[in-house]
Structure 1
Amino acid sequence: MQQGSGGPHENWSSRLVFIMAAVGAAVGLGNLWKFPYTAGVNGGAAFVLVYLAAVAAVAVPVVIAELMIGRRGRMSPPNSFLALAREAGANPAWRFVGWMNLLAVFLILSFYSVIAGWALAYVPKLALGHFHQAAPDQVAAEFAALLGSPGTLALLHALFMALTVSIVAVGLKRGIERAVRFLMPSLLLMLIALVLYAAIEGDLARTLTFLFQADFSKINADVVLQAIGQAFFSVSVAMGLLITYGAYLGPDTRLGSSAVYIAGADTFVALLSGLAIFPLVFANALDPAEGPGLIFVTLPIAFGQMPAGALFGALFFVLVLVSALTSSIAILEPMVSWAEEHAWLKRGPAAMIAGALAWLVGLATVFSFNLWAGWFPLGRFERFRESTVFDLIDYFTSNLLLPLGGVLIAVFVGWVLSSDTARAEVGVDDGWWFRAWRFTLRYIAPLGVGWVLVTSLT
């Protein structure tokens, strides 16, 4: 056990389990459609190269910084920031960055659970052949009917939240570790099975051209900005997840190589997702640009037209559910970690209270698709003229809290903490690697994420 000033924490059983958990936190619903499509329409392999450069210059340095804050502070994000600020003789107000992290994960969990609940509904639908030979209008109407039922959405939201809480409530080793030891290998095996199925039954050749044919003529400032934003959001930085998971790391874990493995595995899973999804989309002459609708409208149409579509369609939605679950347990953990550090609240009740509150706030997202679909609270402002409550929560977290948190984390570790503290925690000599990391953290990462922040707000 590690002991921080707020209370004891368990340690990860091994570095491999930690990396699986961190990759599970990073791999979410967006990986399954957003990165492959963004790469395909923005130059294929050319975009992938720009994205990898953004990962190296922006994402990985901030991942290392978050893990360092967590392991050095050995507490939840607010308390770790406070402990390190005091150690550096800095203003204790830095702890409010940790509070921003907790606010972000709370709001994200509230709507993430709603969307993940949709996958719960679709697993039995696909397994029972509900979409066999279904017309596109029928599939779209089915999805619209689901969104139009607040009671069904609230129940699915509750079931997914309860599943998340049940894992986090029993602790790091008995809950989160056991879950990721089973879920992450299962996710990879399901993804590989779907890639093989798509290669046999779908249009693999067109997919390979779409994803990997390099077209450098499409690379411009906007595409570079998209690559930076995708790299930043894809590995789940600035949410406090990695600070919290870092608090459970032992002193022998190398932070630099761990960050590279996390970012690399996340990218690999995203590309595999593209190889699993787009052959089916192209083979059925469907639109790959549907966004979230790609999963819940376009793909059910494709599975309904293909051999063994019920089996592999159900498998796909189990995959969606698993990827959502590995993320949601990481999203809930920072809040539970903070509560656990206070003697008045144990882990189990803390998980249940946090989950219940997130479920209640999540009802605003549920109602945004039906009862409140025509209510636009900030409609007097042109930017938010047609933004529902869900749209506003999503905008506030994705466009403000997360990029601002990323900039502040980079500034805190790069400029507030001493180089001696950083070097001791990262565990390297004052060589080229350390100087390169510190340079990117001080200059490139905050400028890159700051560019994303300013652009998203203007």
Structure 2
Amino acid sequence: MAAGTPVWSSRFAFIMASVGFAVGLGNIWRFPYVTGENGGGAFVLVYLLFVLAIGVPCVMAELMVGRRGQSSPSQSMAKVAEESGLSRFWGGVGGLGVFTAYTISITYAVVVGWVLWYLIQAVMTGFAGYDAAAATSSFNSLLADGSTMLVMTILGNLIVGSIIYAGVTGGIERAVTFMMPLLFALLIGLGIYNMFAGGFGETVRWLFTPDFSKIDGSVLLAALGQAFFSIGVGMGGMMAYGSYLPANFSITRGAMVIVLADTLVALLAGFVVFPMVFNYGLDMGGGAGLIFQTLPVAFAQMPGGHIFAVLFFVMLSVAGVTSMVGLLEAVTSWTDQRTTLGREMSAVVVVGSVTFCSIASVFSYNVWQDYTLFGMNFNAASEGLYDKITLPLGGLLIALFVGWFMKREFAFSELATSEQTFGVWQLLLKFVVVPAIAIILITGLI
């Protein structure tokens, strides 16, 4: 372990931090509505296959490079490339991940702010009296209110910043070892509630009875994209967390646990969201507004809806905050090692600058929405940049580097697994992951 490099105090702390980073609004917010838009069970089946074939090898690759490099993502990539007899310019791939994490954080912070605002509304009103018109009006009013969104974005960033400022063991570990068990407990508890509240049987059939006639090119691409984006690769976070791993930790087992937990959360989110959709006759393909415009209507109608609403948005807040921590930890570690600011001041500068840049994201929903570049406002341009270009490009280059260019003995030494397991992992990385991510990149660009 390099001098001065922090180390996770326990396997549990690392797993909770990594799962917290991987498990975000993409699992609890995006997965249910993407499933709803793509036919239910058929989409879920394809998604699960992609998660195993792509998610596990990708996470293993990033953790491995991080632990071997013992540094920020860019420095780790450069060090591993150099010892493999390659150019240190490969470090730019890690730098691309840091840039992607920073860019995502700017718009993601605003969505976390929405979640916190809805949590406050849930506590104050429980959405009593909401109907479809009121729910839509409430969400639209929030988007139009730049000052409220800015305050909530700042609040979210203060929470995230305070965790990162306190360091790996004093901040991130302490937060995630409390917050992630809480998230799982809330998911399970809300799912159990739905077993008795109605709509649970329909949800089981919807999620696990695939209609193969619905599997077409668009469903395959949606499942592939969801599997890749939901696990948090290509953003530098897994590599940064991997750099704090002790040498005796099994990366293979760790990656399996992280990806399976991430997938479990997505499925549990389906058991929380879809029973309400079935039970109250809501729109199954409600799109991105499913959480913010559709579910408050269900909370207003159900017995105990006030408590259910609070617990749901507490859970969503935890997912948003822990993902933001993972994103900005990658940027903070890079800033700490590339400047003389030190750990604490790096955290202040990184979170402060993200907050400042988020002003553009906030105002793009209202007063600046008509200001466009190439027909896109700030949010559309930012999301297009990382969603279509930097995220899949970074993931593709990492998979290419580890699968095709990194010296085999170094990879085998880090994974410390059997020849058979290592062979399967390398085959998947070379011949499944690389083509799959290339497809995501090409279709996104087209």
Q: TM-score range by the shorter chain?
A: over 0.9
Tell me which residue corresponds to 2:105: 109
Tell me which residue corresponds to 2:10: 14
Q: 1:150 aligns with which of 146, 149, 160?
A: 146
Deviation at 1:96, TM superposition (A): 0.8
Structure 1 residues 365-444: aligned runs within 5 Å: 365-379=361-375, 387-429=376-418, 431-444=419-432
Structure 1 residues 4-403: aligned runs within 5 Å: 8-129=4-125, 131-342=127-338, 344-379=340-375, 387-403=376-392
TM-score (norm. length: structure 1): 0.94
Any idea what SS the aligned residue of 2:244 has?
coil
Deviation at 1:335, TM superposition (A): 1.2
When residues 250 and 140 of structure 1 are mapped into structure 2, their CA distance, relative to the original with a 3 A threshold, is same
Amino acid at match of 1:76: S
For the residues of structure 1 that align with 2:268 and 2:143, how far apart are their CA atoms? 29
Give structure 1 regions of 4+ aligned residues with deviation exceeding 6 angstroms.
none
Deviation at 1:418, TM superposition (A): 0.9
For the residues of structure 1 that align with 2:93 and 2:226, how far apart are their CA atoms? 22
Contact 1:37 1:274 in 2 (8 A): no
Contact 1:116 1:160 in 2 (8 A): yes
Tell me which residue corresponds to 1:384: none
Amino acid at match of 2:2: Q
Which runs of 5 or more structure 2 residues have no equivalent in the other structure?
A: none
Contact 2:82 2:88 in 1 (8 A): yes
When residues 265 and 195 of structure 1 are mapped into structure 2, their CA distance, relative to the original with a 3 A threshold, is same
For the residues of structure 2 that align with 1:283 and 1:63, how far apart are their CA atoms? 37
Contact 1:43 1:213 in 2 (8 A): no
Contact 2:235 2:391 in 1 (8 A): yes
For the residues of structure 2 that align with 1:289 and 1:30, how far apart are their CA atoms? 16
Tell me which residue corresponds to 1:454: 442
For the residues of structure 2 that align with 1:46 and 1:296, how far apart are their CA atoms? 26
Of all paired residues, the percent bearing the same amino acid is 40
Deviation at 1:226, TM superposition (A): 2.0
When residues 395 and 343 of structure 1 are mapped into structure 2, their CA distance, relative to the original with a 3 A threshold, is closer
Deviation at 1:219, TM superposition (A): 1.9
For the residues of structure 1 that align with 2:373 and 2:238, how far apart are their CA atoms? 33
Amino acid at match of 1:332: L
When residues 290 and 45 of structure 1 are mapped into structure 2, their CA distance, relative to the original with a 3 A threshold, is closer
For the residues of structure 2 that align with 1:98 and 1:236, how far apart are their CA atoms? 14
Which runs of 5 or more structure 1 residues have no equivalent in the other structure?
A: 380-386
TM-score (norm. length: structure 2): 0.97
Number of positions where the alignment pairs a residue of Structure 1 with one of Structure 2: 446
Instruction: Quote the RMSD (CA, aligned, Å).
Output: 1.4
Deviation at 1:206, TM superposition (A): 1.8
Any idea what SS the aligned residue of 1:33 has?
helix
Higher mean alpha-carbon deviation, 44-53 vs 367-376, is at 44-53
